[in-house]
Structure 1
Amino acid sequence: MALRIKSKEAKAIINSLSGGVVPRIGVQHITVGRKLEIESFTSALEDVKNGHSMCKFWIGDFGSGKSFMLHLMNTVATKQKFVVSNADFTPENRLYSNDGKAVALYSAIMDNIAIQTKPEGGALPSLLDKWIEKEMLSVATENDISIIEVRNKDYLPKIQSKLVETVNKVTETGGFDFGVVILKYYEGHINGDEFLKRSALKWLKGEYGTKTEARQDLGVREIINDSNYYDMLKNFTRLFVGIGYSGFMINLDEAINLYKISTSTSRAKNYEKLLSIFNDCFQGKIENLFMNFAGTKEFLENERRGLFSYNALKTRLETNKFETKEFRDYSQPVIKLQPLDHNEIFVLLRKLKEVYDFNYETNIGVDDEDIRMYMEDMFNKPGADEFLTPREVIRDFLNILSLLRQNPTANKSDLISNIEIADERPKNLDIDSIEEF
């Protein structure tokens, strides 16, 4: 069967995986395994679409496919008409802070908003424009006029009234300023005032540093900050549903960076915020929101610094005690991702060879037997059991394909035998050497 993939997706797959990162688009073309995880996720997605909310933790070792899973879920969710966004926890991005690090996470989420027609992110302006055009069409229909005529300033109050009506339905905390900024965006949209549109977007994305600057540009009293950003995420969730989407899915990766917060008080505050989000989702305090967190087993289970150090989270996130390797419970909040087995990696490499040939319009002389030889050599090298990850297997395989494409006379066997295994796992902090406050 011919490969059905877009050129843009093929290039994203090859370029990203060659650089050791997960592609933002096209991951569905190279997915192997994870059938039960995806079925469980799809079922949960349906519940969220029907008005529930969900919070999931995707736990696995370094290189086990956590980030890949999040991007695959994006593809599934956008096809179900969800708005999605991905962001990473970093030393400068976290759930709770009083020095701008929480609103920095919010800004990253807003920057990366994606929909099916704009899967690479940056879709917030498109969503707002689409909503405004929808309300303008509604006013035009109600008044039996053309979509061109409705742009006349005489109909401005009617359209503003429609926008305010929606905003009032979907906002709670911070709703007044949120509504004012939305109307400012509309004014910029209808009048072609790009500065006003950019200013409104800047406010909505949490990029204003001072209230004075925001008041000068937009006439609002407040800005989005560390203390109210989560309320704004909930406002946006309701807004997206109000304009016709199924819900809002937010994926937060690299949660080990919460574990690495050096002060116990600050770390506990972040876990307390995470608990608040978890409770909101499972107690029905917010509808149509799907939160996913990806991290290592250490981040989850370490009882000194991990989520299990916070007892209220530990009691909620402990694994079903009846679960075994044979009988898994994919409905629980924590999903532990098992590494791909050798057969699944073989299928993955074969798919990657096909995508690589498509991307470069070539047919490199690497067959199934060559892939088997490559895998045998890789997995039998010293250190493979301890250090080798799917990420390294994939990247080295693509590097060999790249050399063979550019140097057709190169010897495949020599290239494979020269590969060395290195420990690519991130160096975690030595928790015993960190002073606790």
Structure 2
Amino acid sequence: MDKGIQKATAAIVLNSLGGGVVPRVGLEYITVGRRNEIGALLQDVELIQAGGSAIRFIEGRYGSGKTFLLYALKNHVLERNFVVSDVELSVDKRLVGNKGQGIAAYREMLRNLATRGCPNQGALKPVLDKWISELENEVEQESGLTPGHESFDIKVSQKVHKITSSLEEKVNGFDFAKVLSIYYKGHRMGDDKLQQKAFRWMCGEYRTKSEAKSDLGVNLIITDDNWYDFIKLWAEFVVKAGYAGLYICMDELASIYEIPSKVGRDYNYSKLLAIYNDVLQGKASHLGFLMGITKEAMEDPVRGIYGYEPLRSRLENRKIAGGAAEELRDLAAPVIALSPLNPGEIYVLLEKLTQLHEIVYGYESRLEHDDFIYFLKNQYARVRNTEEMTAREMIRNYITLLNLTQQNSDKPKEEILYAVEDYNVKSN
């Protein structure tokens, strides 16, 4: 591990993992395994960068590493000059709903946009302003004109029009292009209020068409029914603004499975089917989706995705019966089922966590190779098979062990190690 990691970053990683959540920073210091999965998903990214589109589902138990993989991919994709967003679906944010859950998810996607230069979300305004700034720089370099010259604004406006007019032929592209032009107009005139109105519209914050008509002269607003059309338009736009594409990480797809009404679930599954078909049929470009879902929410034949036949017939992995190929995974399939990290990978992870703990607390841990082995053997002994032991559970148990051995340096480490393991066994 790079000992140059900042203490604050190491603390965030440990505190997040100890609390059972995935850290948003420092993932590169604790990533183990998943090389094959990441490699397969990065092939999708290359396709998206070339103008295509892709959609994948990451399936696994709670605590198996779905969210970790989504965040890891997000970091990889940011480094490839993509605009990336992440959203966690919930009761209030779904693909569609009768209380605006779909538009709420869209707003979250726009709020959470990130770029390599603005990795901590909130990147939409910087993306728009960078687009305008680069157009102005192009005019300066091509014509020698400078801001303030009477012809400068005309030439920049011509470039803006060229880009926005190319979007007009897309579904809902005319209004989207018009509001982009209004955003630029606000910039050119120094009218912050006009810019803010355009920004609000693009973020889906207008509630009525009459309000949008009054403020911006457009007859359309972004809603539960049409938000996906605007995600496709954003993917087109960010490429014209100099980025490689748009990549959406959508977690907690299981929230759809938890909808009590079959009508509500099917309504969301129908929206998901429309997105899936659209992406794979080439109707979107420079756009990728990576979705996290639990095994139960995917495969339950009544409430899950596989209970919705049009999706089941598209997503269910083909099984090969018999022979050596039976245990192989097709990493090009729409659904990638996460297998547990193996003991060797967990061992490496324990080493990494120990080093982070040493950095945060400024000490040298007493835990060594034999202690790692003892810990692992006892963790796996708690369950009937390794598939029942999630990485999240093991990480939290090990961080507890690290904390106790550091906080009680006067006690033999064996006493603490045995006590922790005895407690874990009894609690299960």
What secondary structure is seen at the aligned counterpart in 2 of 1:12? helix
What secondary structure is seen at the aligned counterpart in 2 of 1:249? strand
Q: Paired residues, what number?
A: 421
The Cα shift of 1:273 comes to 1.1
What secondary structure is seen at the aligned counterpart in 2 of 1:170? coil
Query: Using the alignment, how far apart are the partners of 1:386 and 1:74 within structure 2?
Result: 26
Report the equivalent of 1:286. Answer: 284
Paired residue type of 2:350: L
Q: Does 1:332 align with 2:333?
A: yes
Query: Using the alignment, how far apart are the partners of 1:305 and 1:227 within structure 2?
Result: 23
Query: Using the alignment, how far apart are the partners of 1:391 and 1:226 within structure 2?
Result: 35
**Structure 2: where are the runs of 5+ without partners?**
none
Report the equivalent of 2:157. Answer: 160
Question: Pairwise mapping of residues 15-414 of structure 1 onto structure 2 (< 5 A)?
Answer: 15-145=15-145, 149-150=146-147, 154-171=151-168, 172-190=170-188, 193-322=191-320, 324=325, 326-381=327-382, 388-414=389-415
The Cα shift of 1:251 comes to 1.2
CA contact (8 A) 2:238 2:246 kept: yes
Query: Using the alignment, how far apart are the partners of 2:116 and 2:363 within structure 1?
Result: 30
Q: Please, which moves more after superposition, 223-232 or 211-220?
A: 211-220
Q: Please, which moves more after superposition, 285-294 or 201-210?
A: 201-210
The Cα shift of 1:58 comes to 0.8
The Cα shift of 1:8 comes to 5.5
Report the equivalent of 1:431. Answer: none
CA contact (8 A) 1:25 1:71 kept: no
Query: Using the alignment, how far apart are the partners of 1:413 and 1:301 within structure 2?
Result: 43
Report the equivalent of 1:418. Answer: 420
Query: TM-score, length-normalised on structure 2?
Result: 0.89
Q: Please, which moves more after superposition, 213-222 or 253-262?
A: 213-222
Cα 1:196–1:301 change in 2 (3 A) is same
CA contact (8 A) 1:387 1:422 kept: no
CA contact (8 A) 1:110 1:205 kept: yes
The Cα shift of 1:388 comes to 4.1
Cα 1:162–1:410 change in 2 (3 A) is farther
What secondary structure is seen at the aligned counterpart in 1 of 2:332? coil
Cα 1:219–1:408 change in 2 (3 A) is farther
Cα 1:414–1:107 change in 2 (3 A) is farther
The Cα shift of 1:219 comes to 4.3
The Cα shift of 1:409 comes to 2.9
CA contact (8 A) 2:107 2:204 kept: yes
The Cα shift of 1:131 comes to 0.8
What secondary structure is seen at the aligned counterpart in 2 of 1:335? strand
Q: Please, which moves more after superposition, 19-28 or 382-391?
A: 382-391
Percent identity reads: 36
Deviations 1:123-158, CA, capped at 9 Å, x for gaps: 11111111111111112222212xxx2255653333
The Cα shift of 1:252 comes to 1.0
The Cα shift of 1:399 comes to 3.1
Q: Please, which moves more after superposition, 408-417 or 132-141?
A: 408-417
What secondary structure is seen at the aligned counterpart in 1 of 2:402? helix
Query: Using the alignment, how far apart are the partners of 1:40 and 1:5 within structure 2?
Result: 28
Q: Please, which moves more after superposition, 382-391 or 295-304?
A: 382-391
Cα 1:337–1:386 change in 2 (3 A) is closer
CA contact (8 A) 2:366 2:413 kept: no
CA contact (8 A) 2:383 2:389 kept: no
Query: TM-score, length-normalised on structure 1?
Result: 0.88
The Cα shift of 1:213 comes to 4.1
What secondary structure is seen at the aligned counterpart in 1 of 2:166? helix
The Cα shift of 1:398 comes to 2.1
CA contact (8 A) 1:107 1:205 kept: yes
**Structure 1: where are the runs of 5+ without partners?**
425-437
Query: Using the alignment, how far apart are the partners of 2:129 and 2:55 within structure 1?
Result: 30
The Cα shift of 1:204 comes to 1.6
Report the equivalent of 1:434. Answer: none
Query: Using the alignment, how far apart are the partners of 2:122 and 2:306 within structure 1?
Result: 35
Query: Using the alignment, how far apart are the partners of 1:422 and 1:197 within structure 2?
Result: 60
Q: Please, which moves more after superposition, 364-373 or 96-105?
A: 364-373
Deviations 1:281-324, CA, capped at 9 Å, x for gaps: 11111111111111112222222111112222111112122284
Paired residue type of 1:418: V
Deviations 1:225-275, CA, capped at 9 Å, x for gaps: 111111110000001111222211111111111111122122112111111
